[in-house]
Each structure stands twice: as structure tokens, then as C-alpha cells.
Amino acid sequence: MPMDDGPLTYAEFLARVPKVELHCHFPGTVFPATAIELAEKNGVELPSMDPDELYRYDSITDFLAVLQAVSKTLVEPDDFARVAYETLADGVHTGNLRYREMFFNPDYHYPQGLSYDEIVGGIGDGIRRAHGEFGVRCNLIAAISRFHGPEAGVALVETVLAHPHDLVVGIGMDDLTPEGKEAPEIFVDAYALANENGLNVTAHVGEIDGSTPRDVLIALDVLGCDRIDHGYRILGDPEVVRRARDERVHFTTCPHSSVWLYGFTFEEHPIRQMFLQGLRISLNTDDPPFFATDLGKEFVIGAAQMGFAPEHVAQLCLNAVDACWLPEPEKERLREDFCREIDALTARLT
Ligand SMILES: [Zn+2]
């Protein structure tokens, strides 16, 4: 490791620059060895009990099937605490993670007999342990699973409203419909309920092959989203890009998962194009061990290979601070800390 005031290579700079992460899924953070240990402890079947084989797939539907199988290995609140602690520790150690807003899908866990409060309580225990050891902070986004349909989406928002927790700061939406679509418009009732009650809202749109800039517009205009998760397909319509740029819409993008699932290359990645066209983006891990990545790699490999210079990386990190759902005074403090640390790290670049 370099001295704390010595010169830094660009890779060291990219790993050490302080980070806020806005797009990471709790069930997608389970390390394969942890999933196998939990499966053995809880008597749950997995597609493979070999940690080198478990996370192998070549389509989003296969990936989602393994993700849901792994989520079934979490049975006791302590299992949730372990996973939350391990992923936050990894974010700190690989990428200097300071604050994360992490999706969790209650609908994945109800079949294992857990209540919403037990799920949040378990994850919360892991968050508190990580905060105590590393100072890292984390809040949660309750995610609607498209697979479970619009009525389950409304039920999730009702549950979030009926069981307020300090940690749960908004509503998201991921997965695909049983037909393999994003179809954001069919979830309008869930989002209307969330908006009426003042919840922050975001949604995965414009991600998969076949989705369009119109899906991004629906998320903004019909669902009332504060920010967009992925959104790569926006590049198909310059007018929608212009609007998102003018309205300073934030896109939480994920370099490694999109390369893995959609065949993009880092050298010609839509994320790079989105940045060059003036959109406000951040870099995130999505489901880190499922795509053989971590927060450090998203920058050390992703940002570097996409051609981001130090001043661009500083902008990406500050974009994430600006788009997070912390109260304004806390965001302001975080921004000041980040600016000071980024300046000090930049001065040490060789
Ligand atoms: Zn995602």
C-alpha cells in the first residue's frame, strides 16, 4: 500500500476516491461462499454448491433465477445481518464506500416465513455493525419486483407506509415482468401511492434489450421518479436526452453488469456516451459478486477503461452525493468532505 501522503497511481486514486453508491441490490450482494454456507445451514437447495460455478449465466433471466434461488438461503434475521455486514465491509475495503442506498425485495423473503419488520431489522443489524466498525452508512430502498405484478407493488408500498423505519428512505422497482419486459406503466398505482405519501421513488428502466427512451419518459412523467436506474436506452432519442440533461435527472449506471448482460464494451459503453452528452450519472455495482465485480473494480477497471479522467471521476462521485436521499444538511457535509478528500488525492497523482 502507498504511504498516506505519498504519490498515487491512477488505479490507487480510483480505488480510494470516496464514494456514495445508489444502485446495489441486497440479494445480489451475497458472496457465493456465504450463499453456500447459508444453504447448508438452512437446508436450502441451490443450482450448484460450488462457489466457482454458482454465479454462471449468460442472460438476464438466468441471472434473475439464480438471484432468487440465493435469496431463499436467507431464513433467519441473523442471515440478513451477516450479508449486509459483509457487503458493506467489502465496499469500504475495495472502494472507500461512505454511504449506500441499497435495494431490498421483501417479496423474495416472505415465502421463507419472514415478516417485513424481521427483514428490515436483520439488514439493519448488519448495517449498524458495519457502521460501528468502519463508519460507513447505509439506508434502504424497498424494491417492487416486477415479476410479482402490479398488485404486489401496491401492497409493498402499503407495507412500507404502515411500518415506517428510519432506514427505509424510498421505493424502487427491479426484475422483469413474467413476459420479460420492463413495462413501467403498469405499476402506476404503486408509484401514485408512494408519491402521494411523500416517498422518494426511482425505477429500473431503459436497461434491457428492447426497452426504449419512452420507458425513461414513463418513469419520469407517469411514475414521478426522482432518479433513473440504468437508463442506457435513452441514447436512442436525442430529445429525451436533452430533456433529462436540462432537468438534471440522475442515472445510476452499472458498468460491469451491463457489459456482462448486454454485450457493451467499456471502450464504447453507453455510460461514456451518457456522460459526454451531459447527463448526470454515477457508477455503481448493481449485484457485485454476481458480476465478478466490487466497488473498487467499477472504478479501477470500469472508469479507467471507459476513459474517465480524474476530474470526470470527481464529478461522478459528487453526482452521487447530489442525487442521494439524505437530508440536505447531511448531503452538504458529505459534499464538503468529498471535495476536500478528492482534492487531496488528486494532488498526489503521479
Ligand atoms: Zn439493478
Domain assignment present for 192: yes
Domain assignment present for 35: yes
Find the 311 Cα to ligand 1 centroid distance in Å. Answer: 26
Instruction: Give the list of residues 6+ apart from residue 1 with CB closer than 8 angstroms, or none.
Output: none
Average pLDDT over all residues of the chain: 96
Q: Is the pLDDT of residue 138 over 50?
A: yes
Domain assignment present for 347: no
User: Tell me, what CATH number does 229's domain have?
Assistant: 3.20.20.140
Find the 2 Cα to ligand 1 centroid distance in Å. Answer: 34
**pLDDT (tens digit per residue) in 58-92:** 788 888 899 999 999 999 999 999 999 999 999 99
Find the 305 Cα to ligand 1 centroid distance in Å. Answer: 21
Domain assignment present for 5: no
The vertex-56 CA angle with 50 and 57, nearest 5°, equals: 150
Find the 309 Cα to ligand 1 centroid distance in Å. Answer: 25
How far apart (Å, rounded) are the C-alpha atoms in residues 241 and 235? 7
CB-based neighbours (< 5 A) of ligand 1, an ion? 286
165 Ramachandran zone, left/alpha/beta (phi>0; psi -120 to 50): beta
Domain assignment present for 4: no
Domain assignment present for 86: yes
Find the 174 Cα to ligand 1 centroid distance in Å. Answer: 6
* Contact indicator for 20, 102 with CB cutoff of 8 Å: no
pLDDT, residue 109, reads: 96
How far apart (Å, rounded) are the C-alpha atoms in residues 305 and 256? 11
Give the range of the structural domain holding residue 194, as residue numbers without chain letter: 10-341
Find the 248 Cα to ligand 1 centroid distance in Å. Answer: 21
How far apart (Å, rounded) are the C-alpha atoms in residues 253 and 228? 9
Find the 113 Cα to ligand 1 centroid distance in Å. Answer: 25
Domain assignment present for 346: no
Whole-prediction pTM: 0.96
**pLDDT (tens digit per residue) in 252-276:** 999 999 999 999 999 999 999 999 9
Q: Could you give the number of structural domains in the chain?
A: 1
3-state helix, strand, coil in the chain (%, to 5): 55, 15, 30
pLDDT, residue 1, reads: 45
Domain assignment present for 32: yes
Find the 255 Cα to ligand 1 centroid distance in Å. Answer: 11
Q: Average pLDDT of 26-38?
A: 98
Find the 203 Cα to ligand 1 centroid distance in Å. Answer: 9
